[in-house]
Amino acid sequence: MATDIIIVIIVTSFATYLSRFLGVVSSEKIRETSKIFRWFNCLAYSTLASLIARIVIFPSGSLSEIDYLIRFVVVILSVVVFYLTKKNLVYPTIFSAIILATLNSYI
């Protein structure tokens, strides 16, 4: 069993770092203003948005015990904090964890 876990870790690490390496190698030839670069940027943001929506709408684990209204309020407040902090990701992340725990405890 332990060797299976080690093999899975090695294979997934190889796949992760291989794709990153290929991205670094190929990024030298891609301009930031090119259509392909903008397409990949949009693809990354849409994937992130869909994952966040899935977590909020169809959560698993402990998050599934929290009411929908609380989850939506935390997301909206975190987006507001994101824009107030000039698109810094650290503050809304910490803020969302604190607000989620607070609202879940008192409501």
Predicted local distance difference test score (pLDDT) of residue 85? 95
The enclosing H or E element of 15 equals: helix 2-27
pTM of the model: 0.61
Residue 107 DSSP SS3: coil
Report residues of the chain scoring pLDDT below 70.
Answer: 1
Residues composing the chain = 107
DSSP string across the chain: -HHHHHHHHHHHHHHHHHHHHHHHHHHTT--TTSHHHHHHHHHHHHHHHHHHHHHHHS--GGGGGS-HHHHHHHHHHHHHHHHHTTS-SHHHHHHHHHHHHHHHHH-
22-36 per-position pLDDT tens digit: 888 877 777 878 888
pLDDT value of residue 1 = 64
